[in-house]
Amino acid sequence: MADTRVALCGITLDNPVIPASGTFGYGYEFAKFYDINRLGTFSFKGTTKEPRFGNATPRIAECPSGLLNCVGLQNPGVNAVISDELPKLKKVFRKPVMANVSGFSTEEYVYTASLLDKEEQVGWIELNISCPNVHGGGMAFGTSPKMAYEVVAAVRKEVKKPLIVKLSPNVTDIASVAAACESADADGISLINTVLGMRINLKTRKPLLANITGGLSGPALLPIALRMIYQVYEAVKIPIIGMGGISCAEDVVEAMLAGATAVEIGAANLVNPYACRDIIEALPETMEKYKINKLAEITGGAH
């Protein structure tokens, strides 16, 4: 019988499938469609210290093999997440959840992460230092090994739960940023976030997005993500959550062979709300097809 279990920073998951932050709300929204306890876990919507309305509209633009978004970290703020969103989630999800944290200064990261770290429902902190959509925000931290080290080290001092750092692909050397996070005592790395792109409206001759540029996600990202997962696996010893264009069980296996311990599914959830459920259901048959008995054993198998 196929064993889909994996261990992520000391916590065992029934399977490696994790809906990515920003594509799964706070979980209970998707509980209307299926039992979300079938998931390994999920990363809830990016959370900041203060409430954020996000960027001006239009925020979404479709393109071949993916979509662009510049939502801008819209969220109700960490205090509202703790008082309102987590209690709703607890009614439908019995597993530890991943808390995705963003900020505009080291102090904001520390404040938000330390509050969520105290919540019983939170199993991991996913520190987003990679968002390319907010000017002066996460991207500044994620593009510099020195700044990445400083913010991770500061959060590490205040956070006891596993700390996973989400990296930007919009850099020339992602492995050096990952190594800096590991040296600052991060417990894991997640990558990749979206790649900067844009579209132009031919009728108005203006950018389609109000923010001009946005983050490209979807199947087009898979080859880029695989390359970066492979590179980071060579550079660090801590677990990797792979993401970027993963939309079927074969993609999960490919990402794990590149070096991922688990995977996050993003844009596929926006196309099909059952995407993660369908991938989980397809895993045993895919494992049998490729003669895999224990999924955890294939991590890094392509190296």
Per-residue pLDDT, 102: 93
Buried b (16+ CB within 10 A) or exposed e, 121-143: bbbbbbbbbbbbbbeebbbbbbb
Give the DSSP letter string of 6-56: EEETTEEESSSEEEPTTSSTTSTTGGGTS-GGGSS--BPPPB-SS-B--SP
The predicted-structure confidence for 262-272, as pLDDT tens digits, reads as follows 999 999 999 99
Q: Which residues are catalytic?
A: 131
Per-residue pLDDT, 140: 67
Buried b (16+ CB within 10 A) or exposed e, 79-107: eebbeebbeebeeebebbbbbbbbbbebe
Those residues with Cβ within 8 angstroms of residue 81's Cβ, 6 or more apart along the chain or in another chain? 26, 44, 47, 75, 116
Q: Is the peptide bond before 192 cis (omega within 30 degrees of 0)?
A: yes
Ordered domains of the chain (ranges, CATH): 6-298 (3.20.20.70)
Per-residue pLDDT, 130: 77
Buried b (16+ CB within 10 A) or exposed e, 23-38: bbbbbbebbeeeebee
- Which residue ranges of the chain lie beneath pLDDT 70? 131-140
The predicted-structure confidence for 44-63, as pLDDT tens digits, reads as follows 999 999 999 999 999 999 99
If residue 154 lies in a helix (H) or strand (E), which one and from where to where? helix 145-158
Per-residue pLDDT, 131: 54
Per-residue pLDDT, 138: 45
Q: Assess contact for 22 and 46: CB atoms under 8 A.
A: yes
Per-residue pLDDT, 59: 96
Q: Model-level pTM?
A: 0.96
